[in-house]
């Protein structure tokens, strides 16, 4: 259990307590197929101190590996089985209503080719499903890199995210 752990600078998230648990398994020595292999599971939860409502609650599962060519592969999922509240995005001028994020599940895959090669590529597609009618989100991150020589590289990034049936927020201000 932890209390407001960000005490070294500007605090953007305050007034909460957290409970976390994690476990992992990894191979120490390379096998015939893998230089490294790691399985990770964790559960995170945060509770807002004033209301006691959940502001974060999820479980993550991931499998990460590096093959014999030193290419990296990762696959995982994040499960949020409860509605959570974003207390840092108030929906009312008097801060009494907050953004509610519905239950959801995310899937992701990550590939990163060996950076020792002249051309390398990072690729990360994501897919999210929400517990609301027809609400989803897809995303993709692509980053090709080309090493001109040992001192200069060209790196480009493309990051795309598309929510479907997302719920927006408008506040009418009367003056």
pTM, 2 dp = 0.80
Name the nearest CA neighbour of 112 among 102, 101, 123, 104. Answer: 123
- pLDDT at position 98 is 81
How would you classify residue 151: left for phi > 0, otherwise alpha for psi between -120 and 50, otherwise beta? Answer: alpha
- Distance of alpha carbon 43 from its chain centroid, rounded? 13
pLDDT of residue 68 exceeding 70: yes
- The average pLDDT across 6-13 equals 60
Q: Are 67 and 32 in contact (CB under 8 A)?
A: no
Average pLDDT over the chain, rounded to an integer:
88
Task: Report d(CA 89, CA 13) in Å as an integer.
Answer: 11
Q: How many CA atoms lie within 13 A of 19 on its CB side?
A: 4
Task: Report d(CA 31, CA 25) in Å as an integer.
Answer: 15
How many percent of the chain have pLDDT more than 70?
88
pLDDT (tens digit, 9 = 90+) per residue, 22-56?
Answer: 999 999 999 999 999 999 999 999 998 888 889 89
The neighbour count for residue 55, using CB atoms within 10 Å, is: 21
Report residue 53 as tokens: 């409502």
């Amino acid at each position: 259990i932890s209390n407001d752990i960000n005490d070294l600078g500007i605090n953007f998230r305050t007034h909460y307590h957290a409970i976390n648990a994690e476990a992992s398994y990894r191979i120490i020595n390379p096998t015939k197929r893998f230089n490294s292999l790691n399985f990770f599971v964790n559960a995170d939860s945060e509770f807002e101190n004033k209301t006691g409502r959940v502001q974060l609650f999820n479980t993550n599962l991931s499998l990460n590996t590096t093959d014999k060519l030193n290419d990296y592969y990762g696959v995982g999922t994040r499960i949020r089985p409860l509605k959570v509240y974003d207390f840092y995005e108030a929906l009312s001028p008097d801060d009494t209503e907050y953004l509610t994020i519905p239950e959801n599940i995310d899937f992701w895959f990550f590939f990163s080719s060996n950076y020792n090669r002249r051309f390398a590529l990072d690729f990360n597609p994501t897919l999210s499903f929400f517990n609301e009618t027809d609400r989803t989100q897809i995303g993709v991150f692509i980053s090709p890199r080309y090493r001109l020589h040992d001192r200069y590289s060209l790196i480009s990034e493309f990051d795309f995210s598309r929510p479907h049936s997302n719920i927006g927020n408008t506040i009418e201000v009367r003056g």
